[in-house]
Chains A and B, each alone.
Chain A
Amino acid sequence: MVSSLIEGSYKDPSGFLFKKDNEIYRQINLSYKNDYEQFMGSGLYKKLIELNYLIQHEEINIEPYDKNDFYKTIKPNLIEFISYPYEWCFSQLKDAALLTLNLLKISLEYEMILKDATAFNVQFIDGKPIFIDTLSFEKYKEGMQWQAYRQFCEHFLCPLALISLKDYRLAELSKSFIDGIPLDLTSKLLPSSSNFNQLFLHVHMHAKSINLLSNTNEKPKNNFFPKKSLLGLIDSLESTIKNLKWKYSETTWSDYYNNTNYSDNAFINKKEIVEKFLNVTHPKTLFDLGANTGDFTRLAASRGIKTISLDMDYACVERNYLTIKKNNEKNILPLIINLSNPSPALGFNNNEREAFFKRKNADVMMALALIHHLAIGNNLPLSKIVKFFSKYCKNLIIEFIPKSDSQIQRMLSFREDIFSNYNESNFRGEFEQYFKIKDVVKLNDCERSMYLMEVK
C-alpha cells in the first residue's frame, strides 16, 4: 500500500504525519532526536499522558516514509473526528488555550518548552481538549524567550477577546486568518475598554511593537530572558484568558426547545422513535445536523455511538459543550457548522485543512426539524438536499415538516410562497431516487413524520 503525506503537517522540520494502510503515523526526523530523547526520558511524556493532556503514541518499526532524515516512526492513537478551531465555540477555544499554557508550564518543570502554539495542535475527545503534536516540545535553556508568544496571542487570545468583548460573529475571522487573527486588526476592533486590563499589554502594546519594529531583522545580543519573566508571561496570559467570558444571550435557536410548538407528548414520542431507529441501524458513528443543544445527539452518545453534534448557532453549541463538560459526557463533539456554508478546504493548495464533509462520513445522519430550513429558509431544491445526504451517510433519520406546521407558516409569513413542490409526496419521491425508505412514523400531537432511510 502506498504511503501518503498528510497535508498541513510538513511545516515543522522535526517531522511529519503520513498515512499508510488507513493508519496514521508520524515520522520523527534526525534533527529532532535530542529533543525527543529528552521528552521521553525526562518523564514529561509520562506526566502528560497521566494527565490526559497529550495523545498517546507507540514507537513502531515500519518502512520509513523518508529515509534521508529518518530517526523514528511513532503511531499516535487514532482520533475519531478531527475538528478545527474555527468550528469550536468560545469555551472550547478557551479550554484549548488554557491546555496549551498548562502544557507550557509543565514542560518548563522538565526543562522543555513549547516551540509552537497553534490552535490546530489541539483536538477534542470526550468533551476534553487534548494536545496532538508530540513534536512541539524542545529543550529549554535558561534565558530563552517563548518563540510562540505571538502565535499564541493570534490563535487564541485575539479570537477569544473579540468574541468576549465585541461580537461572537468575529469568530468567523479565524477561518480567513488560519495562521491567527493579526494582533493589529484585533487591536483596531476591540473596544477602548480593553485598554484597561491585561489586553492592553498582550494585544494593544504587542500590536504596536510589531508595527513599529516590523523591519528589524536582528535581535539583541544580550537577549537573556529570565525564567521568572517567562513564568510571569505565562501567568499573565493565563489570567487574561481566564478573565475573558462570553455571556450568550438567547439566540434564535438556543432556547428552541422551550419555545417550540412541540407538546411534551410529541417530544417524548420523537425521542422514542429516534431510539427505535438507532436500534435498527446500529451505527458506530452519527452526525446530528442542526442538533441545537444536542438533546437528540445524547440519545445516540449514551449508547456508545461516536457523534458530532452540529449547529450553526453559536449559543447552541456553547450550551451543548458546557452541558458535556458539566456532566462529563462522552462520545459527543459539538461543532459550529453552517450547512449552507460548511467549513471549506483551506490553506496552501487548499490542502492544509480539509473541508468538513471530506473528513469523515457517518454511518447515520440525523436531520431533525431541519429540512424546512434548507428547502425554504435557504431556497435549496429538494433534489440537491437529497444528493448531499446520500453522499455522506449510509442511513438517514429525517423528520418531514409539512407546510401547515406553525414553524413554516412563520417562515412564510412575510414572503411569497414560491415552494409549491414542498410537500410530503415530492419529499418521498426525491428521496426514493437515492434512498430506500425503511420506516415512516407519524409523530403524536402534530403533523410531522419521522423517516428512516438507507442509501441505495
Chain B
Amino acid sequence: MQQLKKLKFFFLIFIINFIFPNRASAYIDPGSGSYLFQMLIATALGLGYSIKLYWTKIVSVIKNLFGSKKD
C-alpha cells in the first residue's frame, strides 16, 4: 500500500516535470520540491476552499432563517 502511494506520487511528479519544462525565478529559493508540491496540491486546496466557503454560506443562510423565525 505504502509502495503504491509512492509510485503514484512519483508518476505525478514525472508528468509535471518532464512534459512542461520551464525555468523558475524569484529572489528567495522556494526549492523545486516545494514548488512542485504546491502544484500537486493546488486542486485539493482550491476544492477544499470552495467547499468551506459554500458550507459557511449554507450555515449562515440556515442561521438567518432560524433567527428570522425567532423574530
CB distance from A204 to the nearest CB of B (A): 11
User: Which A-chain residue is minimally distant from B28 (CB atoms)?
Assistant: A116
Assess whether A218 is in contact with B42, with CB atoms less than 8 Å apart.
no
Known contacts A210-B37, A223-B39, A232-B46; A149 and B30 CB within 8 A of each other:
yes
CB distance from B52 to the nearest CB of A (A): 7
Which residues does chain A contribute within 8 Å of B43, judged by CB atoms? 229
Whether B60 is near chain A, meaning CB under 8 Å from some CB there, is no
In the bound complex, CA of A323 to CA of B37 (Å): 40
Assess whether B35 is in contact with A145, with CB atoms less than 8 Å apart.
yes
Known contacts A222-B20, A233-B38; A147 and B32 CB within 8 A of each other:
no
In the bound complex, CA of A370 to CA of B50 (Å): 55
Whether B1 is near chain A, meaning CB under 8 Å from some CB there, is no
Assess whether A219 is in contact with B32, with CB atoms less than 8 Å apart.
yes
Assess whether B38 is in contact with A219, with CB atoms less than 8 Å apart.
no
Number of contacting residues on A, CB 8 A? 42
Which residues does chain B contribute within 8 Å of A151, judged by CB atoms? 28, 30
Which residues does chain A contribute within 8 Å of B41, judged by CB atoms? 201, 205, 229, 233
CB distance from A112 to the nearest CB of B (A): 15
In the bound complex, CA of A228 to CA of B49 (Å): 7
In the bound complex, CA of A228 to CA of B42 (Å): 9
Which residues does chain A contribute within 8 Å of B45, judged by CB atoms? 228-230, 232-233, 236
Assess whether B36 is in contact with A216, with CB atoms less than 8 Å apart.
yes
Whether A12 is near chain B, meaning CB under 8 Å from some CB there, is yes
Whether A211 is near chain B, meaning CB under 8 Å from some CB there, is yes
Whether B4 is near chain A, meaning CB under 8 Å from some CB there, is no
Which residues does chain B contribute within 8 Å of A175, judged by CB atoms? none
Known contacts A213-B36, A214-B32; A221 and B27 CB within 8 A of each other:
no
In the bound complex, CA of A164 to CA of B50 (Å): 29
Interface extent on B, as a size class?
35 or more
Q: List B27-71 residues whose CB lies under 8 Å from chain A.
A: 27-28, 30-50, 52
Which residues does chain B contribute within 8 Å of A259, judged by CB atoms? none
CB distance from A26 to the nearest CB of B (A): 16
User: Which B-chain residue is minimally distant from A153 (CB atoms)?
Assistant: B34
Assess whether B19 is in contact with A150, with CB atoms less than 8 Å apart.
no
User: Which B-chain residue is minimally distant from A179 (CB atoms)?
Assistant: B28
CB distance from A240 to the nearest CB of B (A): 12
Q: Is the interface of B mostly helix, strand, loop or mixed?
A: helix
Which residues does chain B contribute within 8 Å of A211, judged by CB atoms? 33
Assess whether B31 is in contact with A218, with CB atoms less than 8 Å apart.
no
CB distance from B8 to the nearest CB of A (A): 13
User: Which B-chain residue is minimally distant from A183 (CB atoms)?
Assistant: B34
Assess whether B37 is in contact with A206, with CB atoms less than 8 Å apart.
yes
Known contacts A116-B28, A219-B23; A226 and B33 CB within 8 A of each other:
no
Known contacts A218-B21, A220-B16, A226-B46; A210 and B33 CB within 8 A of each other:
yes
User: Which B-chain residue is minimally distant from A117 (CB atoms)?
Assistant: B28
CB distance from B34 to the nearest CB of A (A): 4
Assess whether A209 is in contact with B42, with CB atoms less than 8 Å apart.
no
Assess whether A216 is in contact with B37, with CB atoms less than 8 Å apart.
no
Known contacts A223-B22, A235-B49, A236-B48; A145 and B39 CB within 8 A of each other:
yes
Which residues does chain A contribute within 8 Å of B19, judged by CB atoms? 220-221
Which residues does chain A contribute within 8 Å of B44, judged by CB atoms? 232
Which residues does chain A contribute within 8 Å of B32, judged by CB atoms? 213-219
Assess whether B22 is in contact with A225, with CB atoms less than 8 Å apart.
no
Whether A115 is near chain B, meaning CB under 8 Å from some CB there, is yes
In the bound complex, CA of A131 to CA of B35 (Å): 25
In the bound complex, CA of A203 to CA of B40 (Å): 15
Assess whether A221 is in contact with B34, with CB atoms less than 8 Å apart.
no
Assess whether B35 is in contact with A219, with CB atoms less than 8 Å apart.
yes
Known contacts A149-B38, A210-B34, A228-B50; A216 and B17 CB within 8 A of each other:
yes
Neighbour of B27 across the interface among A13, A209, A212, A230, CB < 8 A: A13
Which residues does chain A contribute within 8 Å of B33, judged by CB atoms? 206, 209-214, 216
Neighbour of B36 across the interface among A11, A13, A219, A230, CB < 8 A: A219
Tell which of A146, A205, A219 has the most Cβ of chain B within 10 Å: A219
Whether A49 is near chain B, meaning CB under 8 Å from some CB there, is no
Binding site for A on B (CB under 8 A): 9-10, 13, 16-17, 19-24, 26-28, 30-50, 52
Q: List 19 A-B contacts (CB under 8 A).
A: A148-B28, A149-B34, A150-B34, A205-B41, A209-B13, A209-B37, A209-B40, A211-B33, A212-B33, A219-B22, A223-B22, A225-B39, A226-B42, A228-B50, A229-B43, A231-B49, A232-B45, A232-B46, A232-B48
Please give me the 3 A-B residue pairs with the lowest Cβ-Cβ distance, nearest first.
Answer: A232-B49, A232-B45, A221-B20
